[in-house]
Structure 1
Amino acid sequence: MAATGASGAWDWDVSADKLHTDARFAELYGLDPEAAIAGLPTSAFFQAIHPDDRARIRIAVAGVLAGAELFSKEFRVATPDESILWMHARGQCHRDEHDEIIGFSGVLVDVTERKRTEERLRIAQTAGGVGTFEYIDGFATAMVSEEFCRLLGLHPASSLPIQTINGVVKPGQSQLIPDPRSGAIPDELEAIFQIVRNDDGADRWIARRGEILPERGGYRLVGVIYDVTAAKEQEAELRELNDTLETRVEHELAIRRQAEDALRQAQKMEAVGQLTGGIAHDFNNLLMAISSSLSLLKKRIPDDPQLHRMIENALQGTQRGAALTQRMLAFARRQDLKPEPVDIAALVDGMRVLLEHTLGPAWTLQLEFPDDLPAVVADANQLEMAILNLSVNARDAMADGGKICIAAEQENVLDDRIPDLAPGRYLKVSVIDSGSGMDIATLERATEPFFTTKGIGKGTGLGLSMIDGLAKQLHGTFTLTSDLGNGTTATLWLPASDEDPVSLAVSSITEVSDRACPLKILAVDDDALILMNTVDLLADLGHDVFEASSGQSALDFLREHPDVELLITDQAMPHMTGTQLAELARENNPDLAIILATGYGELPRDAQAKIVKLGKPFDQDELAKAVTQAMQISRN
């Protein structure tokens, strides 16, 4: 039998006539959890309801289907072990855009203990000794029974003064035996009094019942008293239990609403991330066509300084566009990262001159890095960009200048107090300013994509969302604390490393003159602009280049020309991806050098070894290096 007071959640899909529950609901109802979670017809739940309650619950269900907003009913359930439990089901309706009811969701609470308490209260109210009394108008005493005296803790007597009887009643209440001299003769004699027993000083509750009978121009009071202390205690316990259950129901519903809101927000952010990643990929392709054409055009135009300056400006524009796509990919968590142990103090110290020039003379830079800091697991280049971005944000928050502090400290996270951060050892890298700060509403939206407090044309709204995406891709997180008028602290939480920080490695790739070693290359891309520019860049390097617009046409060409030495292919193509093409191509030519050109961050999981990744957009120098690297790998 489930523990009393337990609660479970339920969702009713009206159109499918199925009720979905959680495991606790299934346990309370005595159902198979897997089946209940997957959803069962409502008839399966009616079967477990006590026969005497089914009709009443069916009427209530019909009422909510007819338009009632809330459902709240108590009923009995027969469990598989033949126990009878009392349940309280409570929920609210969900409507579609046409205001039609499409379902209900809520909680189920076991109220068996409360019902048992109510039964004990009912029994207590009719149990125990009963004392009798009789009072005739005009007398100062009342005739009482021996049990009457015992209940009030008075010495046994056949009659007692009204003043003595009423003296045991606590102040602020009416009289146990109404005194006609007080003018407080009630219309009826049913009431409950709190008394202090005369013999032992104990607090008790006494109930009085009786009637008022007219007699010779006056009246006569006849009635009984009995001890209801146990019932009052049970009543207090019942109130407390009811309050607890009501609080639990509200708490469960609040948690459910929060979970639903969090799910909707997560789905929204996932959709925005997918959209952003897709836009970045397409934008990369456009930048590829523009930048490669400009690079080739620059080589061929006359020696005209003005024309060269215009082309150089256009190339710088493509570089800025490429930086924006990196931010978009960072938000979508698709940029290419190379996590390694990094000395954060050395990294920031190496940036000092750049930071000071970027910030300007009105802003003072302060660095605070303890000597015993461990290395941090990060991509050094991306971490530099994040720190620079946060420093510029700090500068913009202090229009009249001020101090910007970049600090780091180690912290062991032992619990889940930091959202999205698993327990472990971390480095907190913080950028702190004393600027204008943010109010609560702005702080809550600060890391949303495309949200910015800067003026039109002064910010993309991707800076903080990019940093947040970077931190989470490195298995850390990003937090913001701010006080309006008192500054902001932006903190990157990144995993600490037990390894020594790495130095910049010298490339082992030998610089080979590609013009001296022309290759037979097949370029594959479903985008005609990208394909044309890739072919032109390779041809300008002196290679013999062929082209294909799909994976299947590339395979056909490779079968007819087994002397092709290198394949450069796009990854995201319809019908056949670049990695699938590479796998099939190497079945016939295991030594084929392969370059995978992609705008996404990481190589797909199905990518083979010995495939060189070339990120889009790329220039001619990057393409030449990728060709050299791919050929060296294939020959080793």
Structure 2
Amino acid sequence: MTTPEHTSSSISEADRYRLLVDAVIDYAIYMLDPAGFVSSWNPGAERFKGYRQADILGRHFSTFYAEEDKNDGLPQRALAIAQAEGRFENEGWRVRKDGSRFWAHVIIDPIWSPSGGLLGFAKVTRDLTERKRAEEALRKSEQQFRLLVQSVTDYAIYMLDPDGLVTNWNMGAQRIKGYLPEDIIGSHFSKFYTEKDRIQGEPDRGLATAAREGRFEKEGWRVRKDGTHFFAHVVIDAIRGEDGELIGFAKITRDITAAMESQKALEKTREALFQSQKMDALGQLTGGIAHDFNNLLTIILSSLSIVSKHVSDNPRLSGLVDNAIKGAQRGASLTQRMLAFARSQELNLERLEVPDVISGMASMAQRTLGPMIQIETHFPLGLKGIIADLHQLELALLNLMTNARDAMPDGGRIVLAARNEYADDSDPITLKPGQYVCLSVTDTGTGMDESVLSKATDPFFTTKVVGKGTGLGLAMVRGLIEQLGGTVVIRSVVGEGTSVELWIPVATAEGEHNIAEPAATVKNDATSTPTLRVLLVDDDALVLTSFCDMIEELGHTVLTAASGPDALDILSREPAFDVVITDYAMPRMTGAELAEAIHLEWPKLPIILASGYTQVQIPSYLTRLPKPIDQAQLKKALSEATRGTER
């Protein structure tokens, strides 16, 4: 029996090599004679070149080359190099029997006889088509990625080496930061940081964080080549090799300055809206309180006015009543400030020339402010006129000048100035576009810091000690100016002083058309108003009683109604009234609604509307009676309403 050892030993060395070559199917291994003709062929060559041994033996190996390579003489050159240098190695396209191409790695070694003669060539070829395709795909992908990065202009995308030096630079980086590649490659990326950030170690801290945690992200100010600043969103990612070693960093920067400014503008708008809503709500509340307070003052003043006539022969009681009346009148002044803040006060509008207003009150203001205050006035020629309430404007200016004096305890200078201004949509001051007169009161006092300045016109806010201020002064000024269609601007620097600007619309033909004609002078004699039959309407029983007493004290007869529907019911049954007096703010039916219903049914019946505030223009057929009411005002209103209607 033949043992394996015996079989193996019976195979010659040449046979073993032939068996080895024939077993290889992943490589084409074959021989060429000295002229390049194929003299042997293994299964690997047959597998990926497609030729059977019988088809290819005796044919020149240039059969496997592409036509362009044959024309270029590559096959002959390969043999010549192998013979001259002992080896030829190359990669290139080769052609299979079916005409398809494959990417081949080729090695040609010369074979020499013991005597030194050339016997031929050993040729080993490997099919690397798949690798070539993968490399080509990778190359194409890298090229596309490189083009993608280079084409991005909204982001600065670039690489840093482990020390933070810039190694490449895309178009976005060039656009955002202003550097050309030749200007910046090789420079440290800290060049983009502000001096303050560099001193504080921000660039190194960013790289250290990215190296430690894999990523660093932050927003902050950065510097362009021209020195301008932009607000940036920055991401730094660490790049590591397969062995984990830090290769460098990928850095992406985006200019978000516009987005940040838009966000700030949005927040500012939201804050302004919130503040406006808050002030409107507070104004409505304040106006409502003032209305109720006016009702109470009407009761007090009407009662005191009646009492004062009956104690005139008693000096002590008369003095007490007079003091009480003065106290109630001070309360009425306070309600006027509250209504001014709520932009709901009655205004007697007229055309005013600002220099005339200041000249008229200058001497009085100097006496009020004292000798330690120096008052200066600066008014240009050609200053335009305004439409305002003279008394309220003077009160506002006096209030501002008093505040200025209080800010200068050791004395100082107050400058009253005015100038023509034009506001448009680009103006930071929120005003309708148009012409304005800017009236300013400037002092050299202690000034206000940002915290105080932001609250200066808020109602009931004051820096004075308890009992020395109501906190309604600047709120009243602001309410008045806004009611006139303008605005108040306050500028202040701590230690240097404060300037309060009142922007008031310039008088126009349309505005002057809305000015009410001045009422004719009413005589105060007893015959100016005959005995009248009055229908009095008010939902407040105390006001109704006091008001009724005041009317009767003037010698008139009164019938009362507690609501608008009750008043209409009385009028339908007893139409013989000379005048109707109705409160403005009533439930179920307001005074204005009642007045409209009466005017439609009884158009010749005079109507007086009593109110401490209103934000609507009343029809011309109504006479307005401001609250709180005293007898003189009541008498005047009755005379105006019934003039020409006496029976």
What is the TM-score when the length of structure 1 is the normalising length?
Answer: 0.60
2:144 maps to a residue whose letter is I
Please provide the CA RMSD for this pair. Answer: 3.2
* CA deviation profile, 1:226-273 (whole Å, cap 9, x unmatched): xxxxxx9xx98xx45xx13x5555455444444433333222222211
CA distance, structure 2, for counterparts of residue 268 and residue 125 of structure 1: 56
Cα distance, 1:505 vs. partner?
7.8
CA distance, structure 1, for counterparts of residue 554 and residue 518 of structure 2: 25
* CA deviation profile, 1:175-215 (whole Å, cap 9, x unmatched): xxxxxxxxxxxxxxxxxxxxxxxxxxxxxxxxxx9999xxx
Q: 2:366 maps to what in 1?
A: 356
Q: 1:321 maps to what in 2?
A: 331
2:339 maps to a residue whose letter is L
Residue 353 of structure 2 is aligned to residue 347 of structure 1: no
CA distance, structure 2, for counterparts of residue 267 and residue 525 of structure 1: 31
Q: Kindly tell me: are residues 426 and 559 of structure 1, through their superposed partners in 2, closer, same or farther at Cα, counting changes over 3 Å?
A: same
Aligned counterpart in structure 2 of residue 534 of structure 1, from 547, 561, 568: 547
Q: Kindly tell me: are residues 512 and 399 of structure 1, through their superposed partners in 2, closer, same or farther at Cα, counting changes over 3 Å?
A: closer
CA distance, structure 2, for counterparts of residue 374 and residue 210 of structure 1: 77
Cα distance, 1:417 vs. partner?
2.3
CA contact 1:386–1:467 (8 Å) conserved in 2: yes
Q: 2:441 maps to what in 1?
A: 431
CA distance, structure 1, for counterparts of residue 393 and residue 609 of structure 2: 26
Q: What pairs with 1:355-434 in structure 2 (closer than 5 Å)?
A: 355-434=365-444
Q: Kindly tell me: are residues 343 and 172 of structure 1, through their superposed partners in 2, closer, same or farther at Cα, counting changes over 3 Å?
A: closer
Q: Kindly tell me: are residues 551 and 446 of structure 1, through their superposed partners in 2, closer, same or farther at Cα, counting changes over 3 Å?
A: same
* CA deviation profile, 1:130-183 (whole Å, cap 9, x unmatched): xxxxxxxxxxxxxxxxxxxxxxxxxxxxxxxxxxxxxxxx9799xxxxxxxxxx
Q: Kindly tell me: are residues 485 and 408 of structure 1, through their superposed partners in 2, closer, same or farther at Cα, counting changes over 3 Å?
A: same
* CA deviation profile, 1:276-314 (whole Å, cap 9, x unmatched): 111111111111111111111000125222222211111
Aligned counterpart in structure 1 of residue 577 of structure 2, from 552, 564, 576: 564
CA contact 2:431–2:487 (8 Å) conserved in 1: yes
CA distance, structure 2, for counterparts of residue 325 and residue 122 of structure 1: 79
Cα distance, 1:529 vs. partner?
1.2
Cα distance, 1:374 vs. partner?
1.6
Counterpart secondary structure, 1:497: coil
CA contact 2:522–2:636 (8 Å) conserved in 1: no
* CA deviation profile, 1:374-424 (whole Å, cap 9, x unmatched): 212222121111111001111111112222121111122344324222222
CA distance, structure 1, for counterparts of residue 532 and residue 469 of structure 2: 45
Counterpart secondary structure, 1:287: helix
CA distance, structure 2, for counterparts of residue 338 and residue 539 of structure 1: 29
Counterpart secondary structure, 2:594: helix
CA contact 1:329–1:601 (8 Å) conserved in 2: no
Cα distance, 1:563 vs. partner?
1.1
Counterpart secondary structure, 2:582: strand
CA contact 1:374–1:498 (8 Å) conserved in 2: no
Residue 525 of structure 2 is aligned to residue 480 of structure 1: no
Q: Kindly tell me: are residues 593 and 394 of structure 1, through their superposed partners in 2, closer, same or farther at Cα, counting changes over 3 Å?
A: same
Q: 2:520 maps to what in 1?
A: 508
Q: 1:46 maps to what in 2?
A: none
Residue 469 of structure 2 is aligned to residue 459 of structure 1: yes
Q: 1:621 maps to what in 2?
A: 632
Q: Kindly tell me: are residues 461 and 348 of structure 1, through their superposed partners in 2, closer, same or farther at Cα, counting changes over 3 Å?
A: same
CA distance, structure 1, for counterparts of residue 523 and residue 534 of structure 2: 19
Counterpart secondary structure, 2:637: helix
Cα distance, 1:544 vs. partner?
1.1
Cα distance, 1:453 vs. partner?
0.8
1:628 maps to a residue whose letter is S
CA contact 1:416–1:422 (8 Å) conserved in 2: no
Q: 1:440 maps to what in 2?
A: 450
Aligned counterpart in structure 1 of residue 591 of structure 2, from 563, 567, 578: 578
Q: 2:46 maps to what in 1?
A: none
Counterpart secondary structure, 1:490: strand
How many pairs align? 413
1:511 maps to a residue whose letter is K
Q: 2:18 maps to what in 1?
A: none
Counterpart secondary structure, 2:282: helix
1:275 maps to a residue whose letter is L
Counterpart secondary structure, 2:620: coil
Cα distance, 1:583 vs. partner?
2.3
Aligned counterpart in structure 1 of residue 532 of structure 2, from 513, 519, 530: 519
Q: What pairs with 1:96-245 in structure 2 (closer than 5 Å)?
A: 123-125=144-146, 239-240=252-253, 243-244=254-255
CA contact 2:538–2:561 (8 Å) conserved in 1: yes
CA distance, structure 1, for counterparts of residue 573 and residue 472 of structure 2: 48
Q: Kindly tell me: are residues 388 and 505 of structure 1, through their superposed partners in 2, closer, same or farther at Cα, counting changes over 3 Å?
A: farther
CA distance, structure 2, for counterparts of residue 288 and residue 558 of structure 1: 25
Counterpart secondary structure, 1:389: helix
CA contact 1:334–1:600 (8 Å) conserved in 2: yes
CA distance, structure 2, for counterparts of residue 121 and residue 568 of structure 1: 90
CA distance, structure 1, for counterparts of residue 557 and residue 611 of structure 2: 22
Q: What pairs with 1:281-292 in structure 2 (closer than 5 Å)?
A: 281-292=291-302
2:371 maps to a residue whose letter is P
1:594 maps to a residue whose letter is I
CA contact 1:343–1:501 (8 Å) conserved in 2: no
Q: 1:551 maps to what in 2?
A: 564
CA contact 1:409–1:429 (8 Å) conserved in 2: yes
Cα distance, 1:493 vs. partner?
0.8
What is the TM-score when the length of structure 2 is the normalising length?
Answer: 0.59
Q: 2:165 maps to what in 1?
A: none
Counterpart secondary structure, 2:409: coil
Q: 1:271 maps to what in 2?
A: 281
Counterpart secondary structure, 2:643: helix
CA distance, structure 2, for counterparts of residue 295 and residue 310 of structure 1: 12
Counterpart secondary structure, 1:388: helix
Cα distance, 1:634 vs. partner?
4.9
Aligned counterpart in structure 2 of residue 262 of structure 1, from 264, 272, 277: 272
CA distance, structure 2, for counterparts of residue 573 and residue 272 of structure 1: 21
Cα distance, 1:506 vs. partner?
6.3
Q: 1:495 maps to what in 2?
A: 505
CA contact 1:593–1:633 (8 Å) conserved in 2: no
* CA deviation profile, 1:530-549 (whole Å, cap 9, x unmatched): 11111111111111111111
* CA deviation profile, 1:305-350 (whole Å, cap 9, x unmatched): 2222211111111111111111111111111223332111111111
CA contact 1:522–1:568 (8 Å) conserved in 2: yes
1:289 maps to a residue whose letter is I
CA distance, structure 2, for counterparts of residue 265 and residue 309 of structure 1: 46
2:359 maps to a residue whose letter is D
Cα distance, 1:609 vs. partner?
3.0
CA contact 2:349–2:516 (8 Å) conserved in 1: no
Cα distance, 1:589 vs. partner?
2.2
2:342 maps to a residue whose letter is A
Q: Kindly tell me: are residues 120 and 357 of structure 1, through their superposed partners in 2, closer, same or farther at Cα, counting changes over 3 Å?
A: farther
Counterpart secondary structure, 1:523: strand
Counterpart secondary structure, 1:422: coil
List runs of 5+ in structure 1 lacking aligned partners. 1-118, 128-169, 174-208, 213-231
Counterpart secondary structure, 1:479: strand
Cα distance, 1:630 vs. partner?
0.4
CA distance, structure 2, for counterparts of residue 398 and residue 383 of structure 1: 23
List runs of 5+ in structure 2 lacking aligned partners. 1-139, 149-184, 189-239, 244-248
